[in-house]
Amino acid sequence: MTTTLRPERPEEPLPGGGRSRRWQICVNGRPVGGLRTTALPRGSQWWGEISELEVAEGRRRGRATVGALAAEEVLRGWDCSRVDVSIPAEATAALGLAEALGYTERMRNMAKHLTRLPDLPTGLTVRQIGAADYEDWLEAAKAGYLHDLCASGLTEAQARAKSDADHVHVLPQGHATPGVALRRIHDAQGTPLGSLWVALQQSVLPSGAPLAWVMTVEVAPAQRGRGIGRALMLLAERECLVAGVQDLGLNVFSSNTIAIRLYESLGYGVTQRVLGKSLL
């Protein structure tokens, strides 16, 4: 039997020059499932995504594997240098398939439903990051993000392109971008201890409720190991509840085991895993 991909719909243009297409997975010309390929620009490079992968007939016969491999060839033809897949936490079969195809986990999405306004540790002062210190904060935030991207398996060129594109997209007006909380905490002597960036209405849940997102949590190197990361996460939860948002999500790179343990201790659970591999 021959398994192939057949276009199901016309190619869809995406903002910024991206492209996406839905395909049928066919066996001897008969549809048995489907998937979607997407290519998005990341600076001067293209990143691919495989999504909506499903086999409706004849599961456990390798059809999803062949479909995914064919999708990778499509993305290579679209000049993509990498491909990512996002897998819900409960989809253990899909996770096993991705790992068998050489994908490795880069990061996890975690979330928590907020019900109580937490107290911050005593002796801390919260200040807004404004025009005077925004550029210095942004430079440090980019450096930290670049380090995490490289640790997740990206080349330095891929990481730099993604970092630059992501920051331009999510902070188009800098410190004055609406719906953004940029905060720094200080001790009683005024020493900066760490910073926080929260997008207060990043997206909407299926229920229609807003979902906020922790974009960065940065602890000053000299202050690590003193509970500052926990204090910043409690501040993030306070910012959300004050803004009327009760659900908070975040990305954490899989190599950052210290952060993962912190989030788990605060009650955050994994909702999705992002795995990827190079197409070069």
What total of structural domains would you count in the chain?
A: 2
Is 14 part of any domain?
yes
- From 277, 252, 41, select the one nearest 165 (Cα to Cα): 41
Kindly state whether residues 55 and 165 are assigned to the same domain: no
What is the SS3 assignment for 217?
Answer: strand
Average pLDDT, the chain: 92
Kindly state whether residues 142 and 67 are assigned to the same domain: no
Kindly state whether residues 274 and 168 are assigned to the same domain: yes
Q: Are 67 and 3 in contact (CB under 8 A)?
A: yes
Is 101 part of any domain?
no
Q: Are 93 and 240 in contact (CB under 8 A)?
A: no
Kindly state whether residues 212 and 76 are assigned to the same domain: no
Kindly state whether residues 182 and 74 are assigned to the same domain: no
Q: How many residues in total does the chain contain?
A: 280
Kindly state whether residues 31 and 161 are assigned to the same domain: no
pLDDT at 270 over 80: yes
Is 102 part of any domain?
no
Please report the pLDDT score of residue 58 as a whole number: 67
Token pair for 15:
């903002």
Is 92 part of any domain?
no
Average the pLDDT over 21-27 and give the result. 96
**pLDDT band, residue 155 (cuts 50/70/90):** confident
Whole-number Å distance between alpha carbons of 211 and 224: 28
Return all residues near 165 (Cβ < 8 A) that are at least 6 apart: 41, 42, 43
pTM: 0.85
Q: Are 200 and 122 in contact (CB under 8 A)?
A: no
**Per-residue model confidence as pLDDT tens digits over 248-265:** 999 999 999 999 999 999
Kindly state whether residues 146 and 200 are assigned to the same domain: yes
Range of the domain at 252: 112-278
Give Cα 254 to chain centroid, integer Å.
11
**Per-residue model confidence as pLDDT tens digits over 161-193:** 888 777 777 888 888 889 999 999 999 999 999
Kindly state whether residues 132 and 179 are assigned to the same domain: yes
Q: For the domain that residue 202 is a member of, what is the CATH number? A: 3.40.630.30
Q: Is the dihedral of CA 229, 231, 234, 238 positive or negative?
A: negative
Whole-number Å distance between alpha carbons of 175 and 172: 9
